[in-house]
Structure 1
Amino acid sequence: MSLFQRIKNIVAKPEPPKQERSMLSLVPGDICEVSLVTYEVTGRIQNRQRNAVVLTLQDGNTINYLHIEEREKLIYSLYAPIDGRLDTPDEVPTTMELDGTNYFLEEQYSGLVVTSGKTPFKQGGDQYVWQYQSDNSRLFRIEWQDGRFMLYEGQWILPGDLKVIRGN
């Protein structure tokens, strides 16, 4: 190594450390672990107005959806799609009963979303969301976009149960 090279290495600024990937910044192709199950992120829906993301997670043939929202702290919930239908977004009830469990409307909102990868809605646009909770802390979620409803049943996830394994 030449003297010039040594002086250059001493004077050069060190590379900044790579920023650790968070669950909120995952994109299709990343790998994460949720409650000890390893998933590949295959899609992402982002609502910038609410600082919220819904990640499409795939483990073999199983597809789940991880909803992440940043409020005072990050809030995580994992949903599985369920079969069902509603007629119009104007007639979504405030109370839903599913398999003997009553769900009560907790929050209703709409916003512009951006999609990437494999998601239930192939393109971005206005999305309407109804979030429900039962007395035993089970979650129910309804999404409507472009004339299509998606129904999900889920549960809260503790931050300690989430881990980024590999990011792009």
Structure 2
Amino acid sequence: MSLFRRVKNLFAKPEPPQAEKSPLLLGPGDVVEVSLVTYQVTGRTRNAQRNAVLLTLQDGRDVRYLHIEERERITYALYSPIDGRLDSFDEVPTTIELEDTNYYLEEQYNGEVRVLGKTPFGLDGEQYVWQYQSDDRKLLRIEWQDGRFMLYEGEAVIAADVKILHGA
């Protein structure tokens, strides 16, 4: 390297570090690590009114769902789908018992969602959500859209356990 190039490098501005991709902007093709397990993001359901997304994650054959919501801070919850059925949209209970665990309704809301990639509901539309929590901090999530229910069971994840490894 020539002397002129060395002097030039001393006065050159360093490249600014790349800003980390916001978790709310993740979508199909991205790779995330949640609690030391690496997942490919295959789908995304976004509720812009709540500033929240539900990411469909895949690790081999295992499919999980990461709910991310930004309020005062960003919160995370990791869910697995469960088998179950409810009879009516109008009769979702405030308390549900599953395998000797009682879940209590924490929050119920609805809003317009946009979907991208592989998601439980394939089309954009109005979605209703019920979020429950048990006494031992387990989470239950019920979604209703287009006449169909989806049920998920999961747990809260601390922000330090979520890492964005690769953005598309």
User: Same-fold call, TM > 0.5?
Assistant: yes
1:66 maps to 66
Q: Pairwise CA RMSD of aligned residues?
A: 1.5
Residue-pair matches, total: 157
Partner of 2:43: 43
Kindly provide the CA deviation profile for residues 111-153 of structure 1, in whole angstroms up to 9, marking residues without a partner as x: 0000000000001100000000000000000000000100000
Report 1:10-159 matches (<5 A).
Answer: 17-159=17-159
Q: Which runs of 5+ in 2 are unaligned?
A: 1-12
- Deviating above 4 A after TM superposition, structure 1's stretches of 4 or more consecutive aligned residues are 13-17
Paired-residue identity, %: 67
- Counterpart CA distance in 1 for 2:39 and 2:71 is 25
> In structure 2, how many angstroms separate the alpha carbons of the residues matched to 1:15 and 1:123?
42
Describe the superposition over 1:31-68 as per-residue Cα deviations: whole angstroms up to 9, x where unpaired.
Answer: 01000000000000000000000000000000000000
Distance 1:113 1:150 in 2: 15
TM-score normalised per structure 2 = 0.90
**Offset, 1:22:** 2.4
In the alignment, structure 1 segments of 5+ residues that lack a partner are: 1-12
| 1-structure distance, mates of 2:60, 2:99 | 27
